[in-house]
Structure 1
């Protein structure tokens, strides 16, 4: 609440720490109700109650999207960290940088303007705009023993970004069976262009301006307008936004 503000609903699993917090908050609430001094306070806050919902025990699949995000983060983070030891401050900084990477993913176009390539991201729901990060030099290929404390954290973030962003883009491009037809790329669609060596929190977005169908009528090549101009790409190098 100190970071994001007071929510109206909270969803979590049945971890013992969460259940204990729920009992403690309920106890405090009952004590406040008994006090005559806080009746006015209660009446003013009655319409701002926070609902805490728990998913069934031992059923992480009920968590849906947030459990999937946690799984994706843990999968790559464990392999990047390995046997490295971090202080609390280093680990907290590293997790915050990775949090920004996850919340920078594009969801859907922000407007219907064909010249606007800005996407809606989870960061917009958190701070009202897209998340950004200062430019940092690439240290992924440098031996870890030659890096200072900050560069080690940057190296972890850059390794995570390369692994996770590549996996996320592949998930957006569903490869269905050849027996069923899918919606082809169309003019006006906003897509993620597969590019190498993209810095963290940066996504190469573009809008399809023209399609070049083959002799069989299937669209395999399109012209995409990006910030750097119009480029021609195969549809296999493009991923539509999830929404």
Structure 2
């Protein structure tokens, strides 16, 4: 890559890193927005233009712009998966971690979402299994109500929950 191409890629990677949700903006059950590092930089969350998915295309068939876009998409996919996995640290049975409750803001772990698009939802209802432990939750999102397994959800803690 040339210096200009690498600089462009680094700026896009910086935007990806600064788009990560940190905590809910408010405790309002209809608010699906999260505080991001972008809020401190720009006063709002970061966005990007939609682009065709290029991850599975042979790099030798792409022009220079598409190659940079493919590199950005590969970085996004890996960053998103590793960041959400890090937030979902499991402590097994040794220590009790905070369980989800109704009204919590969560990141929904999705496989095919574009860069800088974090799917967020609020827990509307928890469905316990036969052992009484919740396994599934109904979530309200910006697009409607969905049902997801708890292992596909990652809690965004409020400041009072972190203390």
TM norm structure 2: 0.92
2:62 aligned with 1:132, yes or no? no
Alpha-carbon distance in structure 2 between the residues aligned to 1:184 and 1:242: 11
Match of residue 67, structure 2, among 147, 152, 162: 152
1:115 aligns to what? 30
The one of 79, 85, 88 equivalent to 1:170 is 85
Partner of 1:196: 111
Structure 1 SS opposite 2:40: helix
Residue 161 (structure 2) aligns with = none
How many positions carry a matched residue from both structures?
158
Specify which structure has the higher proportion of helix.
Answer: 1
Name structure 2 gaps, 5 residues minimum: 159-163
- 1:176 is displaced (CA, Å) by 0.6
Q: What residue number does 2:138 align with? A: 223
**Deviation string for 1:2-54 (max 9, x for gaps)?**
xxxxxxxxxxxxxxxxxxxxxxxxxxxxxxxxxxxxxxxxxxxxxxxxxxxxx
Look up the match of 1:44. Answer: none
Aligned residue in 1 for 2:149: 234
Contact kept, 8 Å, 2:24 with 2:157, in 1: the verdict is no
Q: What's 1:90 paired with?
A: 5
- Provide the C-alpha distance between the structure 2 equivalents of 1:171 and 1:185, rounded to a whole number of angstroms: 17
Query: Which residue is equivalent to 2:129?
Result: 214
Q: TM-score, normalised by structure 1?
A: 0.63
Is the 1:192–1:205 Cα contact (8 Å) retained in structure 2?
Answer: yes
Mark the runs of 5 or more structure 1 residues left unpaired by the alignment.
1-85
Contact 1:186 1:211 in 2 (8 A): yes
Q: Which has the larger radius of gyration?
A: 1
Per-residue CA deviation, residues 72-102 of structure 1 (Å, 9 max, x unaligned), is: xxxxxxxxxxxxxx11000000000000000
CA contact (8 A) 1:172 1:242 kept: no
Cα distance, 1:232 vs structure 2: 1.2
